Structure 1
Amino acid sequence: MTPQFSELPISKYVQEQLSTNNFHTSTPVQSSAIPAALTGKDLLATAQTGTGKTLAFLIPIAERLLQTRGAGIHALVLVPTRELAIQVEQQFDQLRGRKLRKGALVIGGASERQQIAALKTAQFVIATPGRLEDFLRRRLVKLGDVQVLVLDEADRMLDMGFLPAIRRIAETLPKTRQTLCFSATLDPAVAHIVGDFVQNPLRIAFGSTSKPAASVKLQAFEVASNQRLALLQRLLSEEDGRCLVFVRTKRGADRLTRQLRKAGLAAGMLHGDRSQSQRNAALADFQNGAVPILVATDVASRGIHVDAVAHVINYELPQLAEDLIHRVGRTGRIGATGTASVFVAHQDRSDFRAIERTLGLKIERVRVDGELAAEERSGPVVVQGTPAVMPGSKMVRLPGEVLQRYAAG
């Protein structure tokens, strides 16, 4: 059993802010990383998404800022996406109370004038590497007072090509800073690169970062391509909670979202061609439950953390095996349970087996019998599986009126 925050070596003020926001019990990541970070040593931590790692670095940052006097930026967090930067800033807002200043964002798609103004009094900055590098090049920000650097989702930042920008940013920071690095995966190549930014780090790992969390029920539907849409609608209509649906392309996200809306399901979408305001709105609607279905591409969804996602559906297979872990990691977060489904069309079977081999997984299959075209007028499509795959679940049947909508559309 992990300790209460009151049992960790953190100040009474931070404990009060945590309690006010209903944070009482730490996660394993937090109970290990927070005391380690408070020693001032560099940290290299690997953990699955949904383990509470954001607070694991925000609490040490808050403690550092409470002890720091004077102007200047004293803490810097680099993240891969604008959406994650906003979420980190929002969580810090809960933690800072009245004693600490608001964090400043340096991200694209937002008012540059407002960001420059916020930097004038900021002690804490959350930024995407490309945007911050641009600000440095134009001499809009000074980082000579930074005491703590956090690389959040370091593997993702490297995947997205941010290494040159991170290097140039690090060159402007004091050599005596503390660096906290958090990564969902840490293969030898990533570890070698990240090693350039830390000095004799404490290394901690939490669970398997190459497999889904134990709290996630994982299942694969063997389904014909022309049945995927109807099966998806049925799964979505039976789910009470938030559902995140992954596709491979921006065009595919547009098309699937239109089809779901035509079928009467409230669905939003998230992909790289959406404006920042559209992406923020879609994420906010999904977070507050106004739109319980979000269709997303892998790139657009990187770094998004939404609590209480009940079901992740891989409508299309990811291009990379590790992306399946990142997708599935959106559910079953911080001890909650969740379901993750993978749609496997006939032409995808060899690719899916390759993903299983790469990840060392064997995912239970659920077979979808019957041709959708033949069932549209006469009866249901039946999903057959074993109790081990879907304990307590009913056979999935598609009502005739549902199928007729697809036949007409």
Structure 2
Amino acid sequence: MNNSRARYPPGLGVGRGGGTIANPNFQSRVPHQQYVQRGLMQNHQHFQHPQQEHQQQHQHQQQQQWLRRNQLPAGDSDVDEVEKTVQSEAVDSSSQDWKARLKIPPADTRYRTEDVTATKGNEFEDYFLKRELLMGIYEKGFERPSPIQEESIPIALTGSDILARAKNGTGKTAAFCIPALEKIDQDNNVIQVVILVPTRELALQTSQVCKELGKHLKIQVMVTTGGTSLKDDIMRLYQPVHLLVGTPGRILDLAKKGVCILKDCSMLVMDEADKLLSPEFQPSVEQLIRFLPGSRQILMFSATFPVTVKDFKDRYLHKPYVINLMDELTLKGITQFYAFVEERQKVHCLNTLFSKLQINQSIIFCNSVNRVELLAKKITELGYSCFYIHAKMLQDHRNRVFHDFRNGACRNLVCTDLFTRGIDIQAVNVVINFDFPKNSETYLHRVGRSGRFGHLGLAVNLITYEDRFNLYRIEQELGTEIKQIPPHIDQAVYCR
């Protein structure tokens, strides 16, 4: 047996790739006497113990393999193929395991309408999203993309502008949050995405969705709205922020003060775009766009697109991809009734509805702040749990009411039209228009608070003599029929 150990790297035991074990027989310099002894050992190998000889042969084979591997060129195809095979096997194994480790909520087995279920059959993995983002998507309870998500996500990922019209409660928020989170470079600590919304409550809700979807990413989300501390917002902007959610006036104010730097913001999202382009918000939105780079991407989402939206599109969007999933304006899955009453009978009628309907949670709309507070007091006196919310309340109080109602602390909420824009509380299955709205857009947004994400809902309208013309006009404009309320309402039409 030839002694070739001097060819091996010093201290080599099991070779590269495992824990390196020092060779117990290695010495850095071999004295002359040891060469003589080594020769004697070679002449008497047959006297070695069989187990020791087997160990030496095994060690010799491993070392020869290590040497052959390191003698190959760096780009050797055989080595590359081996490494690729090992890596692909590791990826396959991990891809099978990562979903099993997720904390996925129980599947929602309630009935859903086809405006949510009629998809092309795509999966979220089909969009080649970051695994950390996919983890957040599945842990949020999303199973497959809804139609608006199927249409929007791949287009948004290409960098194109989007003008999307879809029904309330069909997944619009995730349709823009998912591509926004995917495109953010979390190693670049600048504002890269701005999401504009018209109300404080919607800003809080949208930022929460972003945080939940991106909880496995190192993305910093900030929400800023009027009515909160400007000083706190300024201090927060000195920390890393990747995604900013807020109302136009507050973000514009921060940009003018030079603390909200938007020169690296590559995506602007406008949720409830029709409201953002109303006279109340449009000047602020257009001023804000001047702080963005010329190459920015703009995504516009809403349930209705009046003329103002089309004008804005022509001026600020570059060859936008138009998505229209609203062949019918009214929402599928929502049964609509009216009850013809006198003004003084409304509270009694409401009491009757509470006693006869199977209400998970309900939202009751009034046309003024005073009527909201008076009705909430009446409902409490009737013995029913009730919260109320309106624009004149302090912001902290509004946030607390919204949070508690969303978490199921109360069954009924009385509010003004402040609560009609994009607020997503899936437990709400009944909407009552205590005061009937004066236009079809407001009616559409109010009714959209029930039947979220394709579930069934019920809308009941209390109509006085003065409301009859508005009822007729809204039916004509929306192309729908609002029927007179029957003595008994089957629970199957709003509770499945």
TM > 0.5 fold call: yes
**Match in the other structure for 1:241:** 360
**Match in the other structure for 2:436:** 317
Residue identity over aligned pairs, in percent, reads 32
**What SS does the corresponding residue of 1:307 show, helix, strand or coil?**
coil
Summarize deviations over 1:297-317 as a string: whole Å, max 9, x none: 113543422222110011111
Q: 1:306 to 1:9 in 2, by over 3 A?
A: same
Distance 1:350 1:301 in 2: 22
Distance 1:151 1:290 in 2: 31
Which residue, 448, 453, 466 being the options, matches 1:329? Answer: 448
**What SS does the corresponding residue of 1:207 show, helix, strand or coil?**
coil
Q: 1:76 to 1:209 in 2, by over 3 A?
A: farther
Superposition deviation, residue 392 in structure 1: 6.3
**Match in the other structure for 1:282:** 401
Q: Is the 8 A contact 1:218 1:339 kept in 2?
A: yes
**Match in the other structure for 2:211:** 93
Whichever residue aligns with residue 465 of structure 2, its letter is H
Superposition deviation, residue 68 in structure 1: 5.7
Which residue, 475, 479, 482 being the options, matches 1:356? Answer: 475
Whichever residue aligns with residue 127 of structure 2, its letter is L
Q: 1:19 to 1:351 in 2, by over 3 A?
A: closer
Which residue, 266, 278, 283 being the options, matches 1:159? Answer: 278
The yes-or-no answer on 1:81 pairing with 2:199 is yes
Summarize deviations over 1:121-142 as a string: whole Å, max 9, x none: 1011011001111112222211
Distance 2:327 2:415 in 1: 25
Which residue, 97, 105, 114 being the options, matches 2:223? Answer: 105
**Match in the other structure for 1:115:** 233
Greater Cα offset, 178-187 or 5-14: 5-14
**Match in the other structure for 2:296:** 177
Matches within 5 A, 1:179-194: 179-194=298-313
Which residue, 203, 220, 223 being the options, matches 2:341? Answer: 223
**What SS does the corresponding residue of 2:277 show, helix, strand or coil?**
helix
More strand by share: 1
Superposition deviation, residue 176 in structure 1: 0.3
**Match in the other structure for 2:141:** 22
Q: Is the 8 A contact 1:75 1:147 kept in 2?
A: yes
Q: Is the 8 A contact 1:8 1:31 kept in 2?
A: no
Whichever residue aligns with residue 282 of structure 2, its letter is L
**Match in the other structure for 1:210:** 329
Q: Is the 8 A contact 1:185 1:209 kept in 2?
A: no
Q: 1:137 to 1:392 in 2, by over 3 A?
A: closer
Q: Is the 8 A contact 1:242 1:310 kept in 2?
A: yes
Whichever residue aligns with residue 227 of structure 1, its letter is Q
Q: Is the 8 A contact 1:236 1:243 kept in 2?
A: no
The answer to which structure, 1 or 2, has the higher relative contact order (CA under 8 A, 6+ apart) is 1
What TM-score does the superposition give when structure 2 sets the normalisation length? 0.72
RMSD across aligned positions (CA): 1.8
Distance 2:231 2:358 in 1: 43
Which residue, 259, 263, 269 being the options, matches 1:144? Answer: 263
**Match in the other structure for 1:404:** none
Whichever residue aligns with residue 217 of structure 2, its letter is K
**Match in the other structure for 2:50:** none
**Match in the other structure for 1:342:** 461
Q: Is the 8 A contact 1:80 1:303 kept in 2?
A: no
Whichever residue aligns with residue 133 of structure 1, its letter is L
Summarize deviations over 1:241-288 as a string: whole Å, max 9, x none: 010001100011011001001111111111111111111111112111
Distance 2:328 2:410 in 1: 30
Distance 1:163 1:239 in 2: 41
Superposition deviation, residue 97 in structure 1: 2.2
Q: Is the 8 A contact 2:358 2:491 kept in 1?
A: no
**What SS does the corresponding residue of 1:194 show, helix, strand or coil?**
helix
Q: 1:166 to 1:143 in 2, by over 3 A?
A: same
Q: Is the 8 A contact 2:332 2:454 kept in 1?
A: no
Gaps of 5+ in 2: 1-117
Summarize deviations over 1:347-394 as a string: whole Å, max 9, x none: 32122112222222221112xxxxxxxxxxxxxxxx647xxxx3469x
Distance 2:171 2:491 in 1: 30
Distance 1:43 1:79 in 2: 16
Q: Is the 8 A contact 1:29 1:52 kept in 2?
A: yes
Larger radius of gyration: 2
Whichever residue aligns with residue 86 of structure 1, its letter is L
**What SS does the corresponding residue of 2:263 show, helix, strand or coil?**
coil
Whichever residue aligns with residue 89 of structure 1, its letter is S
Gaps of 5+ in 1: 367-382, 394-409
Which residue, 265, 280, 288 being the options, matches 2:384? Answer: 265
Greater Cα offset, 2-11 or 256-265: 2-11
Distance 2:219 2:234 in 1: 15
Q: Is the 8 A contact 2:146 2:171 kept in 1?
A: yes
Superposition deviation, residue 289 in structure 1: 1.1
Number of positions where the alignment pairs a residue of Structure 1 with one of Structure 2? 371
